Amino acid sequence: MSRGVVKLFIYLMVITISLPLWAKNTINSVRVWPSPDSTRVVFDLNDKPDFSYFMLKNPSRLVIDLENTSELKTLPGVPPKHQIVSKLRYSKPKNKQSVRLVFELSAPIKPVVFALAPTGPYKNRLVVDLYNKKLIYKDKKLVNWDTVLKTAISDLEVDQREVNSKIYYIQYPIEGSSDFITIATTRPETMLGDTAIAVNPKDDRFKHLVGKFVTVPIVGRKIKIIEDDYADPEMGTGALKITPAHDFNDYEVGQRNNLEIINIFTEGGKVNDNAPKEYIGLDRFEARKRILKELKEKEFFVKEENIKNKVPYGDRSNSIIEPFLTEQWFVDAKKLSDKAKDIVNSKKTNFFPANWSKTYFQWMNNIEPWCISRQLWWGHQIPAWYGPDKKIFVAINEDEAKAEAKNFYNKEVDLIRDPDVLDTWFSSGLWPFATLGWPDNKEYVEKFYPTSVLVTGFDIIFFWVARMIMFGMEFLDKEPFKDIYVHALVKDEKGCLLYT
């Protein structure tokens, strides 16, 4: 919905509330005619009203036009910059028992802006700007991967659901010994990518085993028993299998301990060539069944227990999300969050009710790099091109990318554009100012940015609100709105949102 339409609704509310102050009689009907340049709001009253006025802040101006007369009036004692009524006319049409009050809003209502409209140049310019500031970068990291849609998704698009599950206890034989170390896992299929067993440095039970090697059952790979604080002596057996390529916490353990990272799945969630040949091509959940069967046959299986745990589901595909190692584009959200936190701390932007600011800060204070690339065919394509040696050129358009490449290689070369598109919430984060013509046309930006109030549901404080504030502060050094009114959500008996 465009800003002008939102303002119109606010005006109608104010007018409706204020009618008792200046109209002794009732309204028979209200009619609205929006156009690209202005909006006319017509009230039909059953008798001549008793006039007074109320003010709306500049730059909006309210025109009260009572038809068929030319009498002009202005408001006494009101500074010119706050003058909101430029003409006031009244007549009573012949043979009718009603009069027409025409309210004309001088603030233009722009045509509706569509998120996927061909407005790529300004987005490209923003991407280039952030890239040059080193706030956007490409890296190979573990991301949330949707094996159905075959795309990366953000943490905020993952629905953590509590489900009935099982935990499996498995023995790993210790090298040079007849003993075993037992681990507990809910995902035995990931053992195909294990590269260490971790124990807590304070856990005396395993002190004599630290530094020794064990053999991964079925795979036959030798991996080391290491110490890391992430291992919880109270969880499972206290010994933790580490699969850096398929668990976010394990990935961090792997980074701290310089562990090998072995990806065992394809983009579609099937076992890849890094696994024993009898498992290659199996769906990850079919592989789980086969692995458990083989573990039992070879007497590595100890027991299983019923538990409740949280499993990540994609909010669009409803499939279980797989942590997946892949190259993606990221935003350094931590740097962008500094000004966004300051603006709320300083009360230049306020949440209503105020408690939602705690939710905002909880996310902001623990913010992670934001994966903004998506492997989808819809959306704004990332303005990045690759040279023959995979050198990256980020530019507003292909001509500029080719010029940069020619300058770099000292000759013309063929470039291949990155097929990924921007996360839709990246585009949405630019909404408060990009839809006003920024950066080329500043007229509407100067008039309407920042706006007064954002009305939104609490479910998109992270998705949208925080990102609008981050981008507003980064590019305009100004908060996009003064107040944020957070309302409740309407859900059905199953907890699903009801949309209109």
CA distances from 325 to 156, 240, 254, 332, 426 (A): 18, 20, 13, 19, 22
Tokens of 401: 């990318």
Please state which of the ranges 21-25, 99-103, 164-168, 295-299 shows the lowest mean pLDDT.
21-25
pLDDT score of 402 more than 80: yes
Mean pLDDT across 128-141: 95
pTM over 0.85, yes/no: no
Mean pLDDT across 340-353: 94
Which residues are CB-neighbours of 53 under 8 A, at least 6 positions away? Answer: 22, 64, 75, 84, 85
Mean pLDDT across 396-406: 96
Please state which of the ranges 4-8, 94-98, 384-388 shows the lowest mean pLDDT.
94-98
Q: Which of 41, 55, 45, 42 shows the shortest CA–CA distance to 23?
A: 45
Provide the pLDDT confidence category of residue 72 given band limits of 50, 70 and 90: very low
Q: Which pLDDT does position 419 carry in this prediction? A: 95
Compute the distance between CA of residue 358 and CA of residue 380 in angstroms, rounded to an integer. 33
pLDDT score of 56 more than 50: no
pLDDT in tens, 314-325: 988 999 999 999
Please state which of the ranges 64-73, 96-105, 261-270, 280-289 shows the lowest mean pLDDT.
64-73
Please state which of the ranges 188-202, 426-440, 461-475 shows the lowest mean pLDDT.
426-440
Q: Which residue has the higher pLDDT, 437 or 48?
A: 437
Query: CA 350, 351, 355, 361 torsion: positive or negative?
Result: negative
Q: Which pLDDT does position 435 carry in this prediction? A: 80
Q: Which pLDDT does position 120 carry in this prediction? A: 56
Provide the pLDDT confidence category of residue 112 given band limits of 50, 70 and 90: low
Q: Which pLDDT does position 76 carry in this prediction? A: 38
Q: Which pLDDT does position 121 carry in this prediction? A: 67
Compute the distance between CA of residue 250 and CA of residue 269 in angstroms, rounded to an integer. 19
pLDDT score of 27 more than 60: no
Which residues are CB-neighbours of 74 under 8 A, at least 6 positions away? Answer: 83, 85, 86
Mean pLDDT across 316-338: 95
**Across the chain, what does the average pLDDT equal?**
80
Report whether 284 contacts 270 (CB < 8 A).
Answer: yes
Tokens of 355: 């408690």
Q: Which pLDDT does position 405 carry in this prediction? A: 97
Q: What are the φ and ψ backbone dihedral angles of 159, each rounded to 5 degrees?
A: -100, 110
Please state which of the ranges 16-20, 239-243, 283-287, 387-391 shows the lowest mean pLDDT.
16-20
Report whether 433 contacts 449 (CB < 8 A).
Answer: yes
Residue type, 390: K
Q: Which residue has the higher pLDDT, 99 or 377?
A: 377
pLDDT in tens, 276-312: 999 999 999 999 999 999 999 999 999 999 999 999 9
DSSP SS3 for 186: coil
Q: Which residue has the higher pLDDT, 25 or 179?
A: 179
Radius of gyration of the chain (CA): 31
Query: CA 486, 489, 495, 499 torsion: positive or negative?
Result: negative
Q: Which pLDDT does position 118 carry in this prediction? A: 53
Report whether 105 contacts 41 (CB < 8 A).
Answer: yes
pLDDT score of 460 more than 70: yes
Provide the pLDDT confidence category of residue 469 given band limits of 50, 70 and 90: very high
Pairing of strands 196-199, 240-242: antiparallel
Mean pLDDT across 171-191: 96
Compute the distance between CA of residue 497 and CA of residue 500 in angstroms, rounded to an integer. 10
Report whether 453 contacts 485 (CB < 8 A).
Answer: yes
pLDDT score of 80 more than 60: no
Q: Which pLDDT does position 479 carry in this prediction? A: 94
Provide the pLDDT confidence category of residue 119 given band limits of 50, 70 and 90: low
Pairing of strands 481-487, 451-457: parallel
Q: What is the DSSP letter of 397?
A: S
Q: Which residue has the higher pLDDT, 112 or 310?
A: 310
Helices (H) and strands (E) in the chain, counts: 11, 23
Provide the pLDDT confidence category of residue 115 given band limits of 50, 70 and 90: low
In the chain, the N- to C-terminal Cα span, in Å, equals: 14
Percent of the chain with pLDDT over 90: 61
Mean pLDDT across 315-340: 94
Q: Which pLDDT does position 497 carry in this prediction? A: 74
pLDDT score of 78 more than 70: no
